[in-house]
Amino acid sequence: MAVASSNLSAVKKKRRFDLAKPTGISLVVVAMLPLVIMPLLSIFIFGFSKGPSHFLEALVNPAAIFSLKLSLITSSVATVCNVVFGVLAAWVMTKYEFRGASALMIVISLPTAIPTAVAGFALLLLWGPFGLLGQFLEATDWQIMFTTAAIILANIFVTFPLAFGTIQPALENFDTNLEDAAETMGASRWQAFRYVVLPSLRTAIITGALLTFARSIGEFGSTIMVSGNMMMKTQTAPLYIYARYNDGDVEAANAIAIVLAIISFAIFSLIMIFRKRLER
Amino acid sequence: MARPMVMTLFPETQAFAQRSTQAQPALSVRNLTKRFGNEIVLNDVSFNVAEGESLVLLGPSGSGKSTTLRIIAGLETPDSGEVVLHEREIEHLRARDRNVGVIFQNYALFPEMTVAENIGFGLKIRGVKARKRAEVVDRLLEMINLNDQRDKKPRHLSGGQQQRVAIARALAYEPEVLLFDESFSALDPHTRVGLRREIRQLLRRLRVPALFITHDQEEAMELGDHIAILNKGRLEQIGTPQEIYNDPQTEFVATFLGSANVLKGEWQDGLIRLDHGYFVVPPHEAFDIPIDDGERVKIIFRPEDVLLSTMLGVAESPYHLGEGEVTEVKFTGATEAVTIRLLNSPLRPSRPQLVTSISEHTEAKAKECFVKTLRSKWDARRVRLAPGNRVSIGLKAHKLLRGDTE
């Protein structure tokens, strides 16, 4: 057997040099350079071109710090909401058969397909001063549009199906015998869920949360519609970048861009790690 | 609803010992019927399991045996019928209130819990304090000999080890009955045999009633104090392995547990006219209800109950079936398998009526009829047989059944 396989590899080695391989690889890399790699690199090159002190100075600007904090907070809240909803919806869609299930599935999955500006505009129409629900708020002291709540609502909307999308397949693959086993051992449905189902969904939940968070923290289109883009009030990090750049303050924009890019890289790496685990 | 937990634990348990003195059956299933849509899965199934006894539900897939187990466990509801566990009607209770232990086909160990956590889960749910729990878990780990694996996740264990964990996990909370759902089918044959023996010993010691579900007759013979044969949702027969094997009440039972020859025919003028076209003398036994001409009958006998003799016409056995010709001889190790083709010519001039050749018309219609036989090495050496030899066929044991149903 060993002889046979070594012979085989010898045959492989003797194969003629294949020009298509290096050509193909170089083509992909060359195409990616101006499209992806160079733009990303330029953020860092420009950001640090005047030295790290300039970068730090731009970073500690209160408005910049505020925008980062606001982004982190709104994204976190949206993530928690959508993970909780994702688990609930995954449970309902997996465990129960009912009329209109496929229609509900489409509605749940729809939001990512809608342009973010449209999503923001839709929220404005609902909650704004003349909106369907907003007109009732008008009479009270409550206000949703142009507040932090609006940013969270926008984030929830645009990331709605992401957590569901990773949790639902995991639940679908879950061995229902385990729930039966827990039940025969005396567990209530909640206990079976809490101790048996939920731990098995952990990787899927974390992956879904990371995806939601990554998408939320960079959200621009819907946020700019509903937040009012007020500095130190409703200006998230992406809006800050845009506003600084418009004012000609490229360095300030660049500093925050670097921070956002680094956060995204970090989340992306985590997602890759957990995706691998999910596939196991 | 759960019974009070008795914390004196394994191996010698008070709770089990007490229950074992009761005369009532530990588990009683009465008139279970279950339909899935139009299909009837269980048809009026009733049986009892005595205290400390193990019953095997044996049947092919689709016979309803798994549904029976799931109904007892509370994972399925019957359309009608009762399940009584230690004089408590439980068919209306939720699974978690029944206090039964189920060992699932693929063990259903919780993948995110360690071995020890799996075993302790039932107690944790019952609110048993961590320290008490650890005591029980330790004792069970000792019992299944997996103390060194306690902190591993189940996926790192072998199949046999996983099954032992599943059993320990079910025993931890002292269930009133253990239900094994095809629990051995996923194991390799060697592990399977060893584990079966272990489980049998364990059950004897604990005296906990057990119900096994299987389609494996060898497993049924080894594990069951009693065997119940299920076919198409009906319980065909229940009895000790010996009773089922030696005295099958239906053709299905005879052919499903072990192999059997089935000769079908109809009653005609005090003889049996086989469907193959010729006549044999019926066995001596009488029917309680007189039999009419034309009524369908079956002669069922096991290959090892056939006595072959080269002395034609001499009946060494209680029932002389007829004459035949050897068509195949196969050495299988412990036994010799001989296939015989029944002959329809009268080979015995002295008593020609016994095996009767009939009119040529009928003879033309006659199909070949083969009988499978098994001989011991001793017999094989004493009376050597080769294809073409003529033999007389005697039956040491047989069963005569009326009717045409399976």
β-strand pairing of B80-85 with B88-89: antiparallel
With a CB cutoff of 8 Å and minimum separation 6, the contacts of A72 are A217
Contact B100 A178 (CB under 8 A): no
d(CA A242, CA A5): 60
The whole-number pLDDT of residue B315 equals 58
Residue B279 at interface with chain A, using a CB cutoff of 8 Å: no
Q: What is the ipTM of this complex?
A: 0.79
| Region of poorest pLDDT, from A45-49, A158-162, A229-233 | A45-49
Q: What is the pLDDT of residues A12-24, one digit of tens each?
A: 556 678 889 999 9
pLDDT of A195 strictly over 90 = yes
Contacts of A184 in chain B (CB under 8 A): 73-75, 95-96, 98, 100-102
pLDDT of B4 strictly over 60 = no
Q: What is the token pair recorded at A39?
A: 């733009």
pLDDT of B206 strictly over 60 = yes
Q: What is the token pair recorded at B108?
A: 């259903």
d(CA B294, CA B285): 18
- Note whether A222 and A154 are within 8 A (CB): yes
Residue A190 at interface with chain B, using a CB cutoff of 8 Å: no
Q: What is the token pair recorded at B311?
A: 């002395």
Which pLDDT band holds residue A11 (cuts at 50, 70, 90)? low
The whole-number pLDDT of residue B20 equals 44
* Beta carbon pairs, A and B, within 8 Å: 70
**CB environment B192-230: b (16+ within 10 A), e (fewer):** beebbebbbebbeebbbbbbbbbbbbebbbbbbbbbbbb
Q: What is the token pair recorded at B363?
A: 């003879």
The whole-number pLDDT of residue B82 equals 95
pLDDT of B181 strictly over 80 = yes
What mean pLDDT comes out for the span B363-375? 76
| Region of poorest pLDDT, from A2-11, B26-35, B133-142, B287-296 | A2-11
| Region of poorest pLDDT, from B177-191, B274-288, B367-381 | B274-288
Q: What is the pLDDT of residues B222-268, one digit of tens each?
A: 999 999 999 999 999 999 999 999 999 999 999 999 899 998 888 88
Please write down the long-range contacts of B125-134, taking CB distance under 8 Å and 24 or more positions apart.
Answer: B125/A182, B125/A185, B125/A186, B125/A187, B125/A191, B125/B96, B126/A186, B126/B2, B126/B5, B126/B173, B128/B5, B132/B7
pLDDT of A26 strictly over 60 = yes
The whole-number pLDDT of residue B369 equals 85
Q: Which residues pair with B268 in a beta bridge?
A: B271
- Give all strands (DSSP E) within chain A, no chain letters: none
Q: How many CB atoms lie within 10 A of CB A30?
A: 10
Q: What is the pLDDT of residues B208-220, one digit of tens each?
A: 999 999 999 999 9
Residue A140 at interface with chain B, using a CB cutoff of 8 Å: no
At B271, phi and psi to the nearest 5? Answer: -120, 170
The whole-number pLDDT of residue A139 equals 81
What mean pLDDT comes out for the span B298-316? 82
Q: Counting Cβ atoms within 10 Å, is residue B263 exposed (0-12), middle (13-18) or buried (19+)?
A: buried
Contacts of A175 in chain B (CB under 8 A): 106, 108
Residue B125 at interface with chain A, using a CB cutoff of 8 Å: yes
Identity of the amino acid at B356:
T
Q: What is the pLDDT of residues A218-256, one digit of tens each?
A: 999 999 999 999 989 999 999 999 999 999 999 899 999
State the nearest Cα–Cα gap between B15 and chain A, in angstroms. Answer: 18
Contact B95 A199 (CB under 8 A): no
The whole-number pLDDT of residue B348 equals 35
Mutation pick from A178, A179, A184 vs chain B, by most beta carbons of B within 10 Å, is A184
Mutation pick from B113, B125, B126 vs chain A, by most beta carbons of A within 10 Å, is B125
Contacts of A205 in chain B (CB under 8 A): none
Q: What is the pLDDT of residues B52-75, one digit of tens each?
A: 999 999 999 989 999 999 999 999
Total-model pTM: 0.81
Residue B286 at interface with chain A, using a CB cutoff of 8 Å: no
d(CA B62, CA A59): 70
Residue B106 at interface with chain A, using a CB cutoff of 8 Å: yes
pLDDT of B344 strictly over 70 = no
The whole-number pLDDT of residue B228 equals 96
Contact B110 A196 (CB under 8 A): yes
Contacts of B169 in chain A (CB under 8 A): 185
What mean pLDDT comes out for the span A172-197? 95
